[in-house]
Structure 1
Amino acid sequence: MHLSPNEHNNVSLSRFESMLKTNNVLFFDSDEFEEIINHYLENGKMSLAKKATKLGLEQHPSSTNLRLYQIEMFIFENKLDIAEQMLDELHLMEQSNEEIYIQKANILSRRDQHNEAIDLLELALKITEDQSDVLSLIGMEYLFLEDFENAKFHFMKCLEQDEADYSALYNIIYCFEYLEQHEAAIDYLNDFLNKNPYSEVAWHQVGKQYYILKEYKKALAAFDFAIISDDRFIGAYLEKGKTLERLKRFEEAIDSYTITLGLDDPTSFALLRIGKCYEKLGDAELALQFYSKCVEEDGLLDKGWIAITDYYIKNKDYQKALYYIDKALNIDSENVLYWKRFAKINTRLNLFEEAEHGFRKTLELGNYELETWLMRCDILIQLGEYNAAIKNLFQATEFYKENAEIEFRLAGLYYYLTEDRKAEFHLKNALKYNEDFLMIIEELFPTVYVRSSVREIIKKHKKPSL
């Protein structure tokens, strides 16, 4: 009775694992060891792969392929010097083995010597029988160098060798997109589709290019062809839904997203988009249902919590908005988008100390938008924390120089602190930069605005009207 290759592999694997459990030493030929090692590597079982390699080399010390597996593991563990020394020894014995050049190139790539890696891969290309893999590796090295034209060329050559290599196709489109050559990408994909008319991946990519170009009807047709080619292609249904939203066909978008929920476990993205569509259709109850399902599915998806919070902000229900943003912050206290909303909601509720805390956290987390600095300043003014407000504004000037909104506030604050010389300096600066923001003094510092000395400075510096 003859065993199929898969059955043979399973028998070898069972024998090997049985040997590990019993400590009985069994003999395997080198091909069996290669299959066992490959199985463990593909399944991420590195320690078992290392054991199999060690035992394999004990039984077959002259096996080049087993030594190459060992070298691959050393490279994976970043033991590059050991791997390089072993490769040099192998190269003296076998100068026509392309795998030696490939692994040498791998080491050079890890050392960021990408041009040298390409030179070695070009040598491997001349002697290999499987050019597509080497062409793909060369393409990746050019990607590391951000040489997208050369990367694209080599991935195209790779795809010519193996039209089923969708990773090469994705990389080609990535290069087109980086170079913003969207029309060229569509032309290339259409040529590919002429030879592979039922390639759902190619149709999907055509649709994405048309979507980027805002040609939504053409994008929709491409996604429909992707679905005809594979009616379980979740990515195509999701992109179709996004496109239908752009065309304001929200009921159809909901249908497209809903199909994905039946094909696999619900994705938080689909649930979020369905909620957005219902909100656009004015169905608040269903919108909130789907937003809630979205955050139940993935509590770390900030867009879900933000959608619920923004819904209540838009409807001026600030207590509920605060309830949901508090829940979000309990899950992720380092999310700057949450803190910014927390601060704004508390401002609306006149909870100024909480609002100031929110704006401070927003800044600490790296959100240096001018609005954040100004809103924190205005809250500190409300709290009577004038020195803290000044310090906040001077920090803002590191990012926004010669800004009238900052200078008018500094002027008003220094007048409040009776430091009139500093106040006049900043008031004159503000008027020079942009007198249109004079309303800041009037609204935030009304007692300052009516002073005769202030009115005199404003009168002198105001540009005459035409």
Structure 2
Amino acid sequence: MVKNTFIFALLGFGILFSCTSEEKVEDDQFFVKEEVKKEKDVFTQISDSLNENPENVKLWIRQGNLCKDELNFDCALNAGAKAFRIDSTNIEARRLYAWTLINKPKAPVSDIERAKRHYQYILSLQPKDPQTLVELANTFSLTGDFKTAIKYINDALKIDERYRDGYVLKGSIYKTLEKNDLALSSYQTALQIDPEFFIGHLNTGWLLTSIENHKLALEYYENAVNLKPDNLNAIYGVAKSLQDLGDYEAALAQYRKIEKIEPDFYITYFNQAFIKQYYQEELDSATYFYNKALEIHPKYLPAWYQLGETYYSQNRIPDAGRAFAEALRIDPNYAPVKEAAEKLRNK
């Protein structure tokens, strides 16, 4: 069984990267908190109407799709489940419910299989619908059956060669299979079809970041910022790309912008500290930012390690020892800290 990689395949929900040493950039598995900016008046109107008429399936579907568009998964799941319970014969209710089953975090295989059956039923009624074909393909990709997933995607694209999400999912599959040229081509095709596709620009930026084409990645992140100026994923992509390209002052300016939007985003402080430590040699500032990151995430191991290294460079040996000891308490097998602790003993 392949790990459930495609929970957000059609959404492109992304992973952000942080430095943990001078040479290495590691996947930190840090998901930036999504900004939810609902059309409050519309959402409130729907909610008020549902309070008066809680069995109105069309209203539940409308609310669920609004939540889906805003990536509010709990809300979408609630609405989808209620719509399907009220009228299981309603195709759109079934579709929404199936989508919520596979787009909740850490969806179990049982839910993926349930969603697959729902899509297969819809497909039996609407065999020429590209949306259903691609969403069914996604259920196969989630369980690692990429061959079948690609088949359904190609079937959808034969019906509508400009169906954007077919190329998005195909790109995500190719990325997982480490066929990066094909993944990039698929993402770029999706953007040619829909240049305003925000998640598409992020998908492409994330792919280019993973293959260390930071200059081109920066262009896609900037496109994403132009579409959504306050989106943390997009701004972080710009900031980290600038950092990877060595434009440290510009990167710091972007990190400060993120601080104003989301003060609890600890990677922002970690990356600023890393720049101060290794590239600008401002060690007091580096210790300040590492400690700031640790105030928010006290068990963030790389920050304890780098804080210890910074103290060591300042000849603050007791402070370095305490930082390394804390890192070892979190992970006794963390090799860089074990080496650093040995360095301290031999000083």
* Band the TM-score falls in, shorter-chain normalisation: 0.5 to 0.7
Q: Per residue, is there more helix in 1 or in 2?
A: 1
- Distance (Å, rounded) in 1 between the aligned partners of 2:251 and 2:83: 58
The answer to whether the Cα contact below 8 Å between 1:346 and 1:352 also exists between their aligned partners in 2 is: yes
Q: Secondary structure at the match of 2:243?
A: helix
Q: How does 1:178-189 map to 2 (within 5 A)?
A: 178-189=142-153
Structural RMSD (CA): 4.2
Query: Deviation of residue 296 (structure 1)?
Result: 3.7
The answer to whether the Cα contact below 8 Å between 1:336 and 1:362 also exists between their aligned partners in 2 is: yes
The answer to whether the aligner puts 1:324 opposite 2:289 as a matched pair is: yes
Q: Secondary structure at the match of 1:266?
A: coil
Q: Tell me which of the two structures has the higher relative contact order, counting C-alpha pairs closer than 8 angstroms and 6 or more residues apart.
A: 2
Output one character per residue of 1:229-287: Cα deviation in whole Å (capped at 9) or x when no partner: 22211111112223334555433322221111111223333233323333343333333
Q: Corresponding residue for 1:261? A: 225
Q: Aligned pair in 2 of structure 1 residues 266, 161: CA closer, same or farther (>3 Å)?
A: farther
Q: Aligned pair in 2 of structure 1 residues 147, 100: CA closer, same or farther (>3 Å)?
A: closer
The answer to whether the aligner puts 1:231 opposite 2:195 as a matched pair is: yes
The answer to whether the Cα contact below 8 Å between 2:119 and 2:135 also exists between their aligned partners in 1 is: no
Q: Secondary structure at the match of 1:146?
A: helix
The answer to whether the aligner puts 1:243 opposite 2:203 as a matched pair is: no
Q: How does 1:381-460 map to 2 (within 5 A)?
A: 382=345, 444=346
The answer to whether the Cα contact below 8 Å between 2:328 and 2:334 also exists between their aligned partners in 1 is: no
The answer to whether the aligner puts 1:298 opposite 2:262 as a matched pair is: yes
TM-score normalised over the length of structure 1: 0.48
Query: Deviation of residue 352 (structure 1)?
Result: 3.1
The answer to whether the Cα contact below 8 Å between 1:203 and 1:226 also exists between their aligned partners in 2 is: yes
Letter in 2 for 1:310: F
Output one character per residue of 1:119-167: Cα deviation in whole Å (capped at 9) or x when no partner: xxxxx8xxx542563476578779656364564343343356564867x
Q: Corresponding residue for 1:26? A: none
Output one character per residue of 1:370-428: Cα deviation in whole Å (capped at 9) or x when no partner: 4377368648x75xxxxxxxxxxxxxxxxxxxxxxxxxxxxxxxxxxxxxxxxxxxxxx
The answer to whether the aligner puts 1:200 opposite 2:164 as a matched pair is: yes
Output one character per residue of 1:94-128: Cα deviation in whole Å (capped at 9) or x when no partner: xxxxx99937xxxxxxxxxxxxxxxxxxxx8xxx5
Q: Corresponding residue for 2:308? A: 343
User: Paired residue for 1:281, among 242, 245, 250?
Assistant: 245
The answer to whether the Cα contact below 8 Å between 2:324 and 2:341 also exists between their aligned partners in 1 is: no
- Distance (Å, rounded) in 2 between the aligned partners of 1:367 and 1:203: 41
Aligned residues: 275
User: Paired residue for 1:133, among 75, 88, 93?
Assistant: 93
Query: Deviation of residue 334 (structure 1)?
Result: 5.2
The gaps in structure 1 that reach 5 residues or longer are: 1-37, 57-64, 70-98, 104-123, 383-443, 446-466
Q: Corresponding residue for 1:353? A: 318
Letter in 1 for 2:250: L
Q: Secondary structure at the match of 1:133?
A: helix
The answer to whether the Cα contact below 8 Å between 2:304 and 2:326 also exists between their aligned partners in 1 is: yes
- Distance (Å, rounded) in 2 between the aligned partners of 1:141 and 1:327: 38
% identity of equivalent residues: 17
The answer to whether the Cα contact below 8 Å between 1:250 and 1:281 also exists between their aligned partners in 2 is: yes
- Distance (Å, rounded) in 2 between the aligned partners of 1:139 and 1:275: 33
- Distance (Å, rounded) in 1 between the aligned partners of 2:152 and 2:146: 10
Q: Aligned pair in 2 of structure 1 residues 340, 281: CA closer, same or farther (>3 Å)?
A: closer
- Distance (Å, rounded) in 2 between the aligned partners of 1:299 and 1:283: 23
TM-score normalised over the length of structure 2: 0.62
The gaps in structure 2 that reach 5 residues or longer are: 1-41, 60-81
The answer to whether the Cα contact below 8 Å between 1:176 and 1:184 also exists between their aligned partners in 2 is: yes
The answer to whether the Cα contact below 8 Å between 1:268 and 1:301 also exists between their aligned partners in 2 is: no
Letter in 2 for 1:262: N
Output one character per residue of 1:177-232: Cα deviation in whole Å (capped at 9) or x when no partner: 43223343233222212223332222222222222222222222222221222221
- Distance (Å, rounded) in 1 between the aligned partners of 2:288 and 2:120: 53
Q: Aligned pair in 2 of structure 1 residues 190, 305: CA closer, same or farther (>3 Å)?
A: farther
- Distance (Å, rounded) in 2 between the aligned partners of 1:144 and 1:212: 19
Q: Corresponding residue for 1:102? A: 85
Larger Rg: 1
Q: Secondary structure at the match of 2:110?
A: coil
